[in-house]
């Protein structure tokens, strides 16, 4: 079971309190009618699916109910950090230096 | 390579079983092949076999990062069925089922295909209506599937709890009699042996690092841990790792990789005559010939390559099994494991050409690739040999995510499969 830190509740809690919500930092197109079929495909269906560091959305559904983002290693399932929605993806090199 | 027969068994028994030869050689890579297949699971090995047998292409290498059949081929719950809703899927999986029928004889290898029937339980009005729609659709496509009422379901599978007091009472079931199970390892071994006999090189412990493309964009070969291997045609059949490998060729895939878990109980005497699936409470169960109850769980909610999976899913699945089969609630489980499945947005496979010349892909089988093994292998071989898809896999293109012509089995079944 994953232990996940909610940045709003400032508490590390079991995975069962949270719902996964897909890859993070995928912005809805500003002007959808201008998009080509390929751009729509990329927005709707293409995901980075990395073997390694993944920025992803979680929702503290059985807690504060709010969305936040996380950086997690998809091989070890270890969370590097979690941060509030709307914040840019943290710089990994700085995170590792801080540890 | 020894041909397996009653006579060869007897002869080897009389000489103390000391004269069996290896079933396939552990090949080292040559400099160049006509076709390279990435991934030595059932699909990849089968494709090599059909390339050699049906298309006369024998200068083929199957390259595997681990050991043969050690990925999802050796990690699934061995269920085989073809009762899919949409015409495209029904034809695809029924093509595989036709090949399963004769596979043991064809490969001279007992894959233990057992048509014991797959029964899917309906627990509410929506299930009843949805399964009956599936049955009608299947029958129009010539796929066998029929409706059982509660008493008939109980008669077909006596351990089933049909009490009306159950939290999710059994309101009936859909039964596909042609469906069943097979020995998963034997499928990989059988294809490997039959392919190697026709000259295919099977190269294990050799991770493919990247796919190399030439100046004109077409495929030149693959970079591996054992050096560069040249080939004009490369077929990727790497399940959960497909998107990682395809990215090295510059092809973005509509795939996400999730852990899918399974578990087995201690072995017991034969008690469970068929395969039972329940989408609503999420339980899959059958009994292996060794006697273990084989139980399939769900995918984790998050993308991962850990081949492990989380315990909450196991708890959920076992709770469902105890609800539907209270007779098993004191069974002890022996072990559990995970495999990494590649899931497409519409839960249908991608099997065909790619925008890169000479690069083919067979992926996106999600949680249900084992049942398709002979069909996927046969169609991948056809597509690679002729450089165009067979009419059965023609709808399963990568382009459908651009055109919007999806095959939405996800909405049809409301579960990953």
**Alpha-carbon gap, residue A82 to A80, rounded angstroms:** 7
Closest approach of chain B CAs to the CA of A22, in angstroms? 7
Residue A29 three-state SS: coil
Task: Please list every residue in chain A whose beta carbon sits closer than 8 Å to the beta carbon of residue B243.
Answer: 49
Query: Which residues does chain A have within 8 Å of residue B252's beta carbon, measured at their own beta carbons?
Result: 42, 46
CB pair distance less than 8 Å for A15 and B305: no
Q: What distance in Å separates residue A47's CA from the closest CA in chain B?
A: 6
Asked if residue A40 belongs to a domain, the reply is no
Test mutation, B304, B354, B399, chain A, max A CBs within 10 A: B304
Residue by residue, pLDDT tens for chain B (417 residues) are: 789 999 999 999 999 999 898 999 989 999 999 999 999 999 999 999 999 999 999 999 999 999 999 999 999 999 999 999 999 999 999 999 999 999 999 999 999 999 999 999 999 999 999 999 999 999 999 999 999 999 999 999 999 999 999 999 999 999 999 999 999 999 999 999 999 999 999 999 999 999 999 999 999 999 999 999 999 999 999 999 999 999 999 999 999 999 999 999 999 999 999 999 998 998 899 999 999 999 999 999 999 999 889 999 999 999 999 999 999 999 999 999 999 999 999 999 999 999 999 999 999 999 999 999 999 999 999 999 999 999 999 999 999 999 999 999 876 664 544
Q: Is residue A13 assigned to a domain?
A: no
CB atoms within 10 A of CB A41: 21
B149 beta partners: none
Q: Which residues of B touch A35 (CB under 8 A)?
A: none
Output the CA–CA distances (angstroms, integers) from residue B11 to B1, B5, B24, B38, B193, in the order listed: 15, 10, 20, 38, 21
Q: Classify residue A52: in a domain, yes or no.
A: yes
Chain B nearest CA to A75, separation (Å): 5
Counting the structural domains of chain A, the total is 1
The pTM score is: 0.95
pLDDT at res. B410 = 77
Retrieve residue B371's tokens.
């049942």
pLDDT digits (tens, 9 = 90+) for A47-67: 999 999 999 999 999 999 999
- In degrees and rounded to multiples of 5, residue A88 shows phi and psi of -70, 160
* Total count of residues recorded for chain B: 417
For residue B306, give Cα distances in angstroms to A47, A59, B185, B300.
18, 22, 22, 11
**DSSP three-state, residue A26:** coil
Distance CA B305, CA B309 (A): 9
Query: To the nearest 10°, the Cα dihedral for A31, A32, A35, A41?
Result: 140
A44 close contact with B: CB closer than 8 A: yes
Minimal-distance CA residue of chain A relative to B401: A41
d(CA B231, CA B224): 13
pLDDT at A80 over 70: yes
Percentage of chain A lying above the pLDDT 90 cut: 90
User: In angstroms, how far is CA B45 from the centroid of its own chain?
Assistant: 12
Is A86 contained in some domain? yes
Q: What spatial distance separates the first Cα and last Cα of chain A, rounded to whole Å?
A: 23
- For A77, the domain range is 18-29+48-99
Vertex A1: Cα angle to B344 and A19 (nearest 5): 50
Q: Contacts for A11-18 with beta carbons within 8 Å, 24 or more apart?
A: A13/A60, A13/A63, A15/B310, A15/B312, A16/A62, A16/B312, A17/A60, A17/A61, A17/A62, A17/A63, A18/A58, A18/A59, A18/A60, A18/A61, A18/A62, A18/A63
Helix (H) or strand (E) holding A39: helix A37-44
Domain presence at residue A7:
no
Within-domain flag for A79: yes
In a domain, A10, yes or no: no
B248 min Cα distance to partner chain A (Å): 12
| Assigned token pair, B108 | 């001279």
pLDDT at B412: 66
* Residue at token pair 């050690």: B70
Biggest CA–CA distance in chain B, Å, is: 69
In a domain, A77, yes or no: yes
The pLDDT score that the predictor gives to residue A67 is 98
A36 and chain B in contact, CB less than 8 A? no
Cα gap B240→B258, rounded to integer Å: 8
pLDDT band at A99 (very low <50, low <70, confident <90, very high): low
Q: Which of B244, B245, B253, B305 to mutate to test the interface with A (most CBs of A within 10 A)?
A: B305
Closest-CA residue to B254 (of A47, A50, A94, A83): A47
Find tokens 């979680």 and name the residue.
A58
* B147-155 contacts, C-beta under 8 A, 24 or more apart: B147/B172, B147/B173, B147/B174, B147/B175, B148/B119, B148/B172, B148/B173, B148/B174, B148/B175, B153/B119, B153/B121
How far, in Å, CA of B367 to CA of B377, rounded? 17
Instruction: Check CB contact of A28 with chain B, cutoff 8 Å.
Output: no
Of A96, A95, A53, A58, the residue nearest A77 (C-alpha): A53
Domain of A93, CATH number, reads 3.30.2270.10
Of A40, A49, A72, the CB nearest to B257: A49
Q: Is the minimum CB–CB distance between B169 and chain A shorter than 8 Å?
A: no
């Amino acid at each position: 079971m994953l232990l996940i830190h909610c940045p709003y509740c400032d508490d590390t809690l079991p995975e069962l309190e949270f719902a996964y919500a897909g890859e993070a930092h995928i912005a809805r197109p500003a002007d959808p009618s201008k998009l080509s079929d390929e751009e729509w495909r990329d927005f709707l269906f293409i995901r980075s699916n990395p073997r390694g560091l993944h920025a992803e959305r979680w929702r503290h559904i059985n807690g504060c109910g709010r969305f936040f983002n996380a950086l997690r290693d998809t091989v070890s399932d270890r969370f590097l950090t979690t941060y509030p929605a709307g914040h840019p993806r943290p710089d990994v090199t700085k995170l590792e230096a801080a540890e | 390579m020894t041909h397996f027969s009653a006579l060869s068994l007897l002869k080897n028994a009389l000489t103390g079983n000391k004269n069996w030869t290896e079933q396939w050689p552990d090949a080292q890579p040559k400099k160049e092949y006509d076709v390279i297949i990435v991934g030595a699971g059932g699909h990849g090995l089968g494709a090599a076999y059909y390339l050699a047998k049906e298309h006369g292409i024998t200068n083929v290498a199957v390259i595997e990062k681990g050991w043969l059949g050690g990925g999802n081929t050796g990690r699934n719950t061995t269920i085989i069925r073809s009762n899919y809703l949409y015409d495209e899927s029904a034809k695809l999986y029924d093509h595989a089922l036709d090949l399963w029928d004769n596979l043991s004889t064809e490969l001279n290898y007992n894959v233990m295909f057992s048509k014991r029937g797959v029964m899917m339980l309906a627990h509410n009005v929506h299930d009843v209506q949805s399964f009956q729609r599936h049955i009608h659709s299947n029958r129009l496509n010539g796929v066998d599937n029929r409706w059982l009422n509660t008493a008939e379901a109980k008669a077909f599978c006596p351990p089933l709890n049909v009490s009306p007091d159950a939290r999710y009472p059994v309101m009936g079931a859909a039964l596909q009699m042609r469906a069943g199970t097979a020995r998963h390892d034997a499928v990989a071994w059988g294809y490997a042996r039959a392919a190697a006999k026709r000259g295919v090189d099977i190269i294990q412990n050799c991770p493919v690092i990247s796919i190399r493309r030439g100046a004109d964009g077409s495929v030149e070969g693959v970079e591996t841990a054992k050096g560069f291997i040249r080939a004009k045609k490369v077929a990727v059949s790497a399940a959960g790792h497909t998107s990682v490998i395809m990215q090295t060729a510059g092809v973005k895939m509509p795939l996400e990789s999730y852990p899918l878990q399974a578990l087995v109980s201690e072995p017991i005497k034969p008690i469970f005559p068929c395969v039972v699936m329940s989408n609503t409470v999420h339980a899959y169960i059958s009994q292996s010939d060794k006697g273990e109850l084989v139980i399939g769980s769900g995918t984790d909610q998050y993308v991962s390559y850990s081949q492990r999976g989380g315990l909450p899913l196991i708890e959920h699945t076992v709770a469902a099994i105890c609800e539907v089969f209270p007779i098993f609630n004191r069974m002890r489980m022996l072990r559990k494991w995970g495999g990494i499945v590649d899931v497409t947005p519409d839960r249908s496979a991608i099997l065909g050409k790619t925008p890169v010349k000479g690069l083919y892909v067979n992926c996106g089988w999600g949680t249900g690739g084992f049942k398709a093994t002979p069909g996927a292998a046969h169609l991948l071989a056809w597509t690679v040999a002729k450089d165009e898809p067979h009419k059965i896999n023609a709808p399963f293109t990568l382009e459908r995510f651009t055109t919007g012509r999806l095959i939405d089995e996800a909405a049809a079944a409301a579960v990953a499969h």
